[in-house]
Every structure is written in C-alpha cells, then in structure tokens.
Structure 1
Amino acid sequence: MHGKFVWYELMTTDMKAAEAFYKDIVGWSARDAGMPGMNYTLLSAGDHQVAGLMTMPEGALDMQIPPAWLGYIAVDDVDESAAKLAAEGGTVHRAPEDIPNIGRFAIVTDPHGAAFALFRGDGEPPPAMEQMAAGNIGWHELMAGDLDTAFSFYSKLFGWTKDQAMDMGEMGVYQIFAHNGQPIGGMMTRPREVPNPFWLYYFNVEAIDAAIDRAQSGGAKLLMGPMEVPGGAWIAQFIDPQGALFALVAPKR
C-alpha cells in the first residue's frame, strides 16, 4: 500500500451545495460519517467509499487558502514518513495524529508547497476499485514547482517510478509516474501563469460532454477541455462553484 493514493477530501465553504454538485456530476452517493463532534460527509461509488467532504477549517479563508481537494497517500509509518519528508525539504503542517478507529494521518506539503496527506489505516484496507471504474479517481496530476526535484522527492518518499515521458514543447516534459508498476498520474513543471504548485485529481465519468454540461449547469467554470489525451481518453478541468479545482476523465465524448 505504501505510496498508493487511498482517500480524497474536499474542504469547502458550503457542504450541502458541494454534496449536491458532486453527486450530480460524478454520480456519487452521500451519507453522514457519524463522527462525534464533526460534520463529515462520505461520498461513495456503489459500495466503495471514495472521498470525504468537510467545511474548511476556521481561519483558512482569512489565510487566503481556497477550497480544495486533498489527496491522502498511504504509508507504512506516518511518523517515519513525516520525518523523512521534512528531511527532504517538505513541510509538516499538521503533525501526525490519530483518527479513532480509522487510522493515523499528517497534513504536509512538498518542497515547493503542493499539499497532500500521509495516512495509515487501522486494520485491513477495503477491497480496491479498478482505477478507471466510474466514480473512482483515475488520475493524479502534479503541477510541480520543478519537475526534476519534485520527482526525486516523491520517488524517495513513496517509491514511485518513471513511466512514459511526453515532450509538450514549450510547456516542457510531462512525466507519467507509476506505483508498483501501474501508471497512476503525471507531473510537470507548472506553467508560468500558474501561481502555485498543486495536485489535481481526475474523477472518472462515463462521457465527457454530458459531464461538462452537468458541471456548467451546476455552476462550475470550465478551465480546459474537452481534450483528448494519449490512450484515447477525454479530459476537462474546472473550478467548482465554491472555488475548488477538479478535473474529469472519460473513455468517450
């Protein structure tokens, strides 16, 4: 499991509106997690829990932190990985702590400031979904501060390996990376017009055009797409109605 994306979490300003939006766009179902003293919604694709939804922490907007999706990456030991991350130039923003009966986590950023979480669950992990199954997250993309140093950082931390590299001309190289031999995402040096490094998550839908229509009807802003990518899939990128970046991927128009 070490180095595998295992959970995704949206921190937003309006939980009910975000729940209705993503249920419509991705087809997820939703239910309250029943966590004492905390309002947390679980989003599921069929029987598989995929993501969580929560209100942004108090003071986040004052610090100019926008609503955002956060990816959780499994590690063998959260404390050990957090220490290694810090030694490699990353920053631990929320020290390792336990979620009762769930697992242990830490909120961190890479050396250039892209945020993610380290996580180790209690007990046996649930059965995995097929990567490209409807409602799952099919792709993980890093707009890195610098591709070479970012790849070295993540490779040391998670054991990710290089897969194909695509020359994007003036935009630079798009490096696909793999976990246990399975390509799971790509990274590239962020374009100059992108102010900060960030992770972007692609949610699987059945057909991209219909999903774009649903997203725009629901108040999302289309940033890019529909665009065909190598392998024949179609993608689109958006800002949701509350301001969080997300993307969609589908096998057909």
Structure 2
Amino acid sequence: MPTIVHFDIPADDLERAQSFYSRLFGWKFEKPIETMEYYLVETEDLEGNPGPGGGLGKREAADQRMMNYIGVNSVDEYLEKIEKLGGKVLMTKTAVPGMGYLAICMDTENNPFGIWEDNEGAK
C-alpha cells in the first residue's frame, strides 16, 4: 500500500498542536529555521522504522486543511485517546471488508485526519 511521503498540518496554536500529536502518536518536532514558524515532523511506523515526514506551520487561510491517514494498532484505542486529548470523532470506526478499519477525526486545530488499522478479517 502506498504511504504518505510528506504532510503539512496547519495550526492556529503551534504549541497546542505539537502537544496533541506528540502525546497521541509520539511524533517528534524540530524547528530547522529559527525565524520561521514551521516545524519538521519525524514519524515512525508500527515497527519503529522511519515513517513519512511532514511539517507543522501556521494556518494561512481559514479553509486550509490537512488530511492524511495514520496507521495505528487499534482504531478503538486511538479513538478514546483522541477524545481524551481534546480531539473529536467525526466518523466512527468503519470496516473496509477484508482490509481493515478506519475512522475520521478532528484534531485540536480543526484539521480532519483519518486513522487506519490493517485487519484482513474486517467485516
């Protein structure tokens, strides 16, 4: 399956967004240029190998959005964590028969994102 090679997350509050994603997924943030309000995002896959990278920067337009699917071990577990951290569930766990489960959520910055769990037994 193709993977995300880069993603951008627009945020109104960069610290709040960093806290949300680092606490939820363990992502690391690095500010490569001190004068820019932009952070590089480092991720790992479920086996601990380097994953797709991305960026986090100030929202430039009201309708600017990010949408990517992030692989997790358990959609159910992450839906609970998302709500505890101030996010919202927009579409509950949904089976894609024979492939896995997905859910669509909203982060603390009003960005939609999906979570995906591989599971060939999904019905």
Report the RMSD for the aligned CA atoms in angstroms: 2.2
Letter in 2 for 1:42: L
More strand by share: 1
List alignment gaps of at least 5 residues for structure 1: 70-199
The answer to whether structure 1 residue 222 and structure 2 residue 89 are counterparts is yes
Match of 1:40 among 38, 51, 55: 38
Partner of 2:76: 209
The SS at the match of 1:68 is coil
Report Cα offsets for 1:68-126 as digits up to 9, x if no partner.
21xxxxxxxxxxxxxxxxxxxxxxxxxxxxxxxxxxxxxxxxxxxxxxxxxxxxxxxxx
The SS at the match of 2:68 is strand
How far does residue 41 in structure 1 lie from its aligned partner after superposition? 1.3
List alignment gaps of at least 5 residues for structure 2: 45-49
Point out the structure with max Rg over C-alpha: 1
Number of corresponding residues: 113
How far does residue 5 in structure 1 lie from its aligned partner after superposition? 5.4
Q: Confirm or deny: 8 A CA contact 1:203 1:249 kept in the other structure.
A: yes
Q: Confirm or deny: 8 A CA contact 1:202 1:246 kept in the other structure.
A: yes
Q: Find the aligned partners of 1:222 and 1:24 in 2 and give their Cα distance.
A: 17
After the TM superposition, which segments of 4 or more aligned residues of structure 1 sit over 3 Å from their partners?
Answer: 46-49
TM-score (norm: length of structure 1): 0.41
Q: Find the aligned partners of 2:108 and 2:76 in 1 and give their Cα distance.
A: 19
The SS at the match of 1:243 is coil
Letter in 2 for 1:208: V
Question: Comparing both chains, which one has the higher relative contact order based on Cα–Cα distances under 8 Å and sequence gaps of 6 or more?
Answer: 2
The SS at the match of 2:5 is strand
Q: Find the aligned partners of 1:25 and 1:235 in 2 and give their Cα distance.
A: 17
Q: Find the aligned partners of 1:5 and 1:207 in 2 and give their Cα distance.
A: 19
Letter in 1 for 2:18: E
